[in-house]
Amino acid sequence: MAIDTSQRKDQPESGAGQGLLKGLSVTLKTMLKPAVTVQYPHVKPDLPARTRGVIALKEGNCTVCYKCSRECPDWCIYIDAHKETHEPAAGGRGRSMKVLDRFAIDYALCMYCGICVEVCPFDALFWSPEFEYAEYEMDLLIHEKDRLEEWTYTVLPPPPLEAGAEGAPAAEGGSA
């Protein structure tokens, strides 16, 4: 089947060589514009709030539900906890709660899928844009909970909602 080229509109109606000159002008203009390169080690990059740099743990929010470690595709989250029973002040049954002993993420295994952050029901895990935590030894890439807590100081506030977006739903049970 022959292709009918007579209807084609993408052919510019210009004389021979105009495309060549246009090409030259594009490269020349690009040269005169400032380069987009960021001189990284000298200049820190300006990263957006949703950058997946490192995962931070806000320990106070963690209820040791193990959802993150169970959902983790490569099992790089290690959680140890024990149960404590708090005797009520006056009568009634003792209140049992879990206490976090260890929370560690092995960044040598982590593939930055972010499922743990998504799945966390109590906002204990956050993305931080920090990315400079390379190590000379592999076991140093296992960040224990104190180090994960430090990453929370670098978490950026979430970007504002887009114009016309629905507001975030109020948390169940109202304000506490």
Q: How far is residue 172 from each of residues 37, 66, 97, 175, measured CA to CA in Å?
A: 46, 22, 22, 8
Q: Which of residues 2-31 bind another protein (CB under 8 A)?
A: 20, 23-24, 26-28, 30-31
Q: Which residue has the tokens 């978490």?
A: 155
Cβ-Cβ contacts under 8 Å for 168 (sequence gap 6 or more)? 161
Is residue 43 near another protein by the rule CB under 8 A? Answer: no
The answer to whether 107 touches 141, Cβ cutoff 8 Å, is yes
Smallest distance from another protein to CB 14, Å? 17
E strand residue ranges, the chain: 54-57, 77-86, 95-106, 125-128, 142-143
Smallest distance from another protein to CB 18, Å? 14
Measuring CA to CA, which residue among 160, 154, 92 is closest to residue 127? 154
Smallest distance from another protein to CB 163, Å? 30
CB of 23 or CB of 73, closer to another protein: 23
**Looking at 6, 7, 39, 96, which residue binds another protein (CB under 8 A)?**
39
Smallest distance from another protein to CB 16, Å? 10
Q: Which of residues 71-130 bind another protein (CB under 8 A)?
A: none
CB of 4 or CB of 46, closer to another protein: 46
CA 87 centroid distance within chain? 40
Is residue 36 near another protein by the rule CB under 8 A? Answer: yes
CB of 33 or CB of 82, closer to another protein: 33
* DSSP state for residue 91 in the 8-state scheme: S
Residues lying near another protein in the complex (CB under 8 A) = 20, 23-24, 26-28, 30-31, 33, 35-37, 39
